[in-house]
Amino acid sequence: MVKVSTVIGADIPKGQPQSGRWWKTESTKFSKIKKNKAAKKAWDRKAEEKTKMQATKMRQQQIRDQDAEEKRVAKERRLENVKRREENTKKNEIVQVINNTEKLRRMKKKDLRKLVKRDTN
């Protein structure tokens, strides 16, 4: 008499895969995957974490808005300073009106380069 015994649940070693890709693992059915019930979060904890995340996102947005506002104000101030400096330099310029255009023809090239046309209003 021959005894036939089957081992249930024992992992039988598999051979080489037909594709030759030995590093790939054999996939199991999604329904066969055991899920840990303790790993699931309680609804209260989920809601609490969600409110915390919303609060942190709001705070981050406030900080970003504040930084953007500070940059905008600094840029405005810088532009105003540049404009004021330009106006001051224009006020301090010494202006000499040339009525006789023949003087321009007699001038040397270096002197002509120094000339700038301006409104005298």
Average pLDDT of adjacent 10-residue blocks, the chain of 121 residues: 65 81 86 75 86 98 98 98 94 84 89 82 66
> Please, are residues 26 and 33 in contact by the beta-carbon 8 Å criterion?
no
Range of the domain at 63: 41-108
pLDDT of the residue at 85: 97
Helix and strand element counts for the chain (H, E) = 3, 0
What's the number of domains the chain is made of? 1
Residue reference for tokens 């090239």: 109
Q: Establish if 2 belongs to a structural domain.
A: no
Q: Establish if 81 belongs to a structural domain.
A: yes
Q: How far is residue 46's CA from residue 53's CA, in Å, rounded to a whole number?
A: 11
Q: How far is residue 10's CA from residue 22's CA, in Å, rounded to a whole number?
A: 21
Q: Establish if 114 belongs to a structural domain.
A: no
Supply the pTM of this predicted model.
0.47
Q: Establish if 24 belongs to a structural domain.
A: no
